[in-house]
Amino acid sequence: MNPARSFDPQRALRLAAQTFEIEANALHGLAARQGEGFVRSVQAMLECRGRVIVMGMGKSGHVGRKIAATLASTGTPAFFVHPAEASHGDLGMVTSGDVVLAISNSGESDELAAILPAMRRLGVTLVAMTGQAESTLARHADHVISSAVDQEACPMNLAPTASTTAQMALGDALAVALLDARGFREDDFARSHPGGSLGRKLLMHVRDLMRSGGALPRVGPRASFIEMLGEMTGKGLGFTAVVDADGRAVGIFTDGDLRRLIERGVDLRELHAEDVMHRQPRSVSADALAVDAAEVMERQRVTSVLAVDAEGRLVGAVNSNDLMRAKVI
């Protein structure tokens, strides 16, 4: 390596474009190489009563960690075991009901070869992802997925580049085929991603966010205007619900309604809640998804919505600020 060699920006851009082209061609070539081996591998993972154990050394190991994480997050229990550590005790993580996905471009990784007999004794199903169909790993495998590429993007055709891109894409292809076969849907994805935005949208309910109990502004239909203002000011939600004797919401009065009455010069002193409330207020079930409450607010162009129980009794309220704090919107 010559550190004194001058940097050529245009050469760097040409190499980048060449890398993209080589790796794109490698991915396009993968489809033609897949067949019975890929299908049987998917079937083995679907029928697996244990877990999918992913193994790989070096760059293949880094790819393997990502593949295991993708499988686990899309409905296929999986984790990564380092082949070298497997020789020193971690093979105890592998059981006879597991499927082992072993990744090696050459298929001759010493660390993988060393544990092949032990895995055979365990009775696991071995799936090889390799670029060499006649390799040691391929010969020992129950099923072989071809990750062969015509060339690496490395100018010397040495550094794993196109081959690791191919491995990554094959891992994604396995995950997609498996999740489709399992009928894995958005709500399943949300359960394994509770901290993500989709998880919040599909797992968080109105009941989890709503103001309730003493924090919920409410008055009866005959409440005076002063009582309504007290509830609105004290609870800080910009409205008060109006409920009947059975606890059902029969109306709502907002700070916008107050502003409009003042602008019209209405004498407020003798008014009662039932005189100024909006009847049939917008409401959602407390058991509805929080994202459903957001949709009601957007559709009706309101900033708050009441929450009711199965009998229609008022149990809470949620506003747009609550939804934004929870990152639902």
pLDDT digits (tens, 9 = 90+) for 206-215: 998 899 999 9
pLDDT score at 293: 87
Helix, strand or coil, per DSSP, at residue 185: coil
Q: Residue 27 and residue 149: Cα distance in Å, rounded? A: 8
In this predicted structure, the answer to whether residue 145 has a pLDDT above a threshold of 80 is yes
Q: For residue 303, name the pLDDT band (cuts at 50, 70, 90).
A: confident
Q: For residue 238, name the pLDDT band (cuts at 50, 70, 90).
A: confident
Q: For residue 202, name the pLDDT band (cuts at 50, 70, 90).
A: low
pLDDT score at 4: 53
Q: Residue 289 and residue 199: Cα distance in Å, rounded? A: 11
Mean pLDDT score of the chain, rounded to an integer?
89
pLDDT score at 269: 82
Give residue-wise pLDDT tens across range 23-70.
999 999 999 999 999 999 999 999 998 999 999 999 999 999 999 999
Q: For residue 199, name the pLDDT band (cuts at 50, 70, 90).
A: low
CB 288 within 8 A of CB 295: no
Specify the higher pLDDT residue, 8 or 167.
167
- Angle CA(105)–CA(149)–CA(24) in degrees, nearest 5? 125
- Angle CA(175)–CA(17)–CA(170) in degrees, nearest 5? 15
Give residue-wise pLDDT tens across range 254-265.
988 889 988 888
What are the angstrom distances between the C-alpha of 263 and each of 142, 168, 174, 256? 80, 65, 65, 11
Q: Stretch 224-244: mean pLDDT, rounded?
A: 91
pLDDT score at 205: 85
Q: What is the CATH number of domain 9-184?
A: 3.40.50.10490
The answer for 294, left when phi > 0, alpha when psi is -120 to 50, beta otherwise, is alpha
Q: Stretch 75-104: mean pLDDT, rounded?
A: 91
Pick the CATH number of 206-325 from 3.40.50.720, 3.40.50.1820, 3.40.50.620, 3.10.580.10: 3.10.580.10
In this predicted structure, the answer to whether residue 103 has a pLDDT above a threshold of 90 is yes
Specify the higher pLDDT residue, 3 or 302.
302
- Boundaries of every domain in the chain: 9-184, 206-325
Q: Which amino acid is at 31?
A: A
Q: Stretch 274-282: mean pLDDT, rounded?
A: 90
Q: For residue 204, name the pLDDT band (cuts at 50, 70, 90).
A: confident
Residues 6 or more apart whose Cβ sits within 8 Å of residue 220:
242, 243, 244, 245, 273
pLDDT score at 159: 84
Specify the higher pLDDT residue, 235 or 192.
235
